[in-house]
Structure 1
């Protein structure tokens, strides 16, 4: 995914049109968290409400071409021959289109409240990579060579290598990778397997489209709400121009699209990192022979950008650039705990404590505006609020970052919450969190009717109890019921009242019972043998709640 600092649009009509459209769009609906900085800014991880003040992130250029003014028709019609007008722009390569639609279907099942339209993925894919470089993918949907420039702080954000070059081939700085332009550290958090091959590959359009959809749906976003749609796009790239460009393509694709063969998609021409548009403009996949070529960065569309001033390939007569000032992230020396308490919750409940850490400099001063990634690790179905297992929070003025509330699932046991600084190779902090089984601390009968029966008969009233925990109904709590020998002997009695199993045989212990959603537990019907007297039924729950109920078996009285 892309983010862009100091970008300038091509001069002329395109610039004026885009600026006017951006102002109009933002005047009509100011997106949450939008700041008027004049530079593009993008988060690389969870765009949660807590982190809407994220001041910076990754950096890569994007295509600024806008869709044609004429709406696409129901069926494609020829353009005017230049391959960039008419309905040709509405054509999306077959495999790329299939990936977008499969991602929409997957998110409709896993996060139905998000209402992600596949046309949004298409709009972002168009802007980020020209639909995977015009649909140049192999049979599995994998692309090659779609890389952003090195994020070395020269005209871009500075992000030192976080993946050992595994995704972007760069062991010095990170680069945006693949058709949806994911930064390696972002992919590490959000990477997905969209085609079911057991791999998570940012260069695969199926994997990248699903990951982008999950990223856009982070938290509790509902993309059918305009403000939340804008917030999602801005979380991908915090820029007025980027928001406006994506919205234009979203509107265009919603009016109609059609499938075209892979490799035949229209390639955009204009990029946000071009200070001057060439005249005449060569096609993105046609070499420009008007000037000598110099080593540069591979770009979507097959072109290259000129190297930054301090990169190899610069003329020897160029003036030396000023040293790049260190970023906030560069000054972090360590992460320290910031008062995190014991992390324990019952299954299905929210954790009462939240993980809190502090980014500190070598001198022990808190460092603000640093991104800290919190990750839930281990065999657990616990998630952060919103259903994600990763959340990135920006440190406050005191250097503190607090993770979102953790919601326990149904799996009990321990798991790990890991905190790490994004963009630095520093030791992180691991916290052990524990999910215990659901518990009850109190059991009471729901009726005070005496439970009586004649020998050989059946009890007229069933036993029903209510379980609570700290005064609230305790749902899903495991329980057992045993007809015990005596108050001091909890072993099962061999005479007196009994339950029946599926075959009608007497049983005096019932296990694997569970309270319902209201904390209620209703036991099966009780029967009596020929023994008279007072008997005891004991009910125990997880958490230690116990209730002993009297059962009386006596011969019927006669007047």
Structure 2
């Protein structure tokens, strides 16, 4: 099967069946939906979102203000030239001054660092030419590109001991681990970090498991993050100057780096590793050569003898001192010049296809973590996995779902099995569908895409807690508290968005146009259930309105939960019951007259003899 996969990939490179088979084999070796340890940079080991914002020491600098090369670039930069005649459609050959040439591996490291930092800090606007300018001034582009295939210098690049004699006085902070000096610190590597700064900003950008200041990939990425600290925007001149001065607090240093930065922006070209032009004039020693006790790059151009003397033949011995007509040539260090080698191919260049590994569709409910994460497989032309490839995962669409750390885009690195996994993914409060797109950093290969959906939290039942009637007089507020419990399939349902609406009828629940309102004078509102699945309207949250009648509060939730709560509005009881008024004359219902009430005079009459009563009767007849 494997040979067949290879042939098919070589013909069509990325047919669906072949990629699927290769991806399935890779995914099978991973734990199901395992969330791999993720990185935020090109191959780094920092968790996403951590470390980038830590500012450098306010009193120090990245290099401890160590010496630097002071040579300036040529004034003119010739334009790029077309390919060599007769090469057909071969690659473009770029010519230009030797000073514009940057060794292949070093150039690759600068560009990779720019891509990585821009993926996590796009507002910094880091240009790789700035890294090249600093690398030129600090180490002559890693001693002219004298690095191995992994990007590590053949021998450590060390600055002088920072012992306070002509330099800063920095006592040892790393026990000699990086600089071999247990008394004082020294600047280390192609970007010349002092150990204490490297301890904070060191990176593992080439994925070899080490943070090595002598590795150009690690050092370039660390330098990029350092320059972007404190939310700098390097597109602004003030921030650019501050960033460079944070590297070395010297106005001459600033001007030298800016000169190379502008020079490289006008045009550069790639040269084989080990063949870069080496600067010789340093800020602490204006004479060619170097500083005793440091590893100084060997000039790539041999020193010519005096014009008055014949050029020595190869293999011949130097003329004896004092021989007439001859001049003894200066002694050149005997460090062997490495044989030029072809440009190093980065892991990304080996990738023929990037495919989905694992689930293509991811789902979650609002305000919760996804159970799985996007995983992509990098494959070469034969279907084999490619390790150490930088894969960018980006959320595309209108959503508030984010990766860990609140990021909408992150970069992870493929493992030895060719799988890159994004950080944990958390759904926001907005439901809907969107896409997560995975691409190979620095390449234009087809993307691996994931369909993502976020659904609302649901409740299939809403039940009122308590049965106290809700009533209020017109013009007042309901003084009773209303509490409702939401459940879904019998379990409490927290975080459910419940819609509340005041309606005129339970059987015909049309929105009411008068009567009760919420405090904001509206008759519709939304509420979210608490962690215990309950929803509470406190006393005073509902106002009765000015019309006495019975209304209903209708509550609905995604998932089908519905509840009607009766709201009774009565007439105002602020006026007491009417007191009976005195009746008008002749009205039977009027208050009893005094004659109808017992009186002292009536008592004797009740006990009087009949004769006593006769006269009155008589009178009445008269």
The TM-score, its normalising length taken from structure 1, stands at 0.47
Rg comparison, structure with higher value: 2
TM-score by length of 2: 0.43
